[in-house]
Amino acid sequence: MRTPIIAGNWKMNNTIKEAIELIDGIKKNELNEEVEAVVCVPFTAIRDVKEAIKGTKIKLGAQNMHWEESGAFTGEVSPLMLNELEVEYCIVGHSERRQYFSETDETVNKKIKSALAHGIKPIVCVGETLTQREANKAEEVVKNQVVKGFEGISVEDINNIVIAYEPIWAIGTGKTASSDDANAMCAFIRETIGELYGNEKDNIRIQYGGSVKPNNIKELMGKSDIDGALVGGASLKADDFVKLINY
């Protein structure tokens, strides 16, 4: 059985003060113990959020990292720095990073390898644009992202990776993929993992992301190949995020 994983991607939101308020709001509620809950917070808030979630089951994540341990990479944050803050998860290759910060399947691959080498579990994002979907290229695009992203990654590491299928047209737009379409692509991704890693396909967790809200989480999570959600907007409101965890 795959443990469901609901991860909040705060993106470039929340000062330290706001971050603590949000965590305090979440902590006022009972959280479903069977669901793994993660908050992927801005670098500046990691240290304070780490303190704020102590004693809870909420886990700590970052939103990006460089693959090198140190060096002349102005503005970047290394896996060693994340290790020091006991960051357990790191989002890798989010479509916003691919789109605005020129990340490619090659850099995503380096980041996945580095994260794993440093004991950080990558949440690897893949997904197609609306144009690609309309041209019937969605599967081809996503398969390519998975195959290139996972190049050289050994079968022993598969269990430490989470994949997030996020169709770009559904992110922050209020348009969710239908639960059937989302599930079909997650199943297709699982098949692709099967081609690369055999039976590990049944262990890897695959999230859906893109306008996940309290009113659609239950249906999405009821699908056979969707093991969780990567959530932007709705993770910024304590009540909504709690509803997602307690779907």
Closest contact distance (angstroms) between CB of 197 and ligand PGA is 25
Footprint of ligand PGA on 70-99 (CB under 6 A): none
Residue 211 makes contact with ligand PGA by CB under 6 A: yes
Smaller CB separation from ligand PGA, 107 or 216: 216
Q: Which of the residues are catalytic?
A: 94, 166
Does residue number 226 form part of the binding site for ligand PGA (CB under 6 A)? no
Residue closer to ligand PGA (CB basis): 93 or 210: 210
Closest to ligand PGA by CB, 65 vs 201, is 65
The answer to whether 233 contacts ligand PGA (rule: CB under 6 A) is yes
Distances from the Cα of 10 to the Cα of 58, 79, 156, 232, 236, angstroms: 14, 19, 30, 6, 6
The window from 22-30, 77-85, 183-191, 232-240 that contacts ligand PGA (CB under 6 A) reads 232-240
Given the rule CB under 6 A, which residues bind ligand PGA?
A: 9, 166, 171-172, 209-212, 230-234
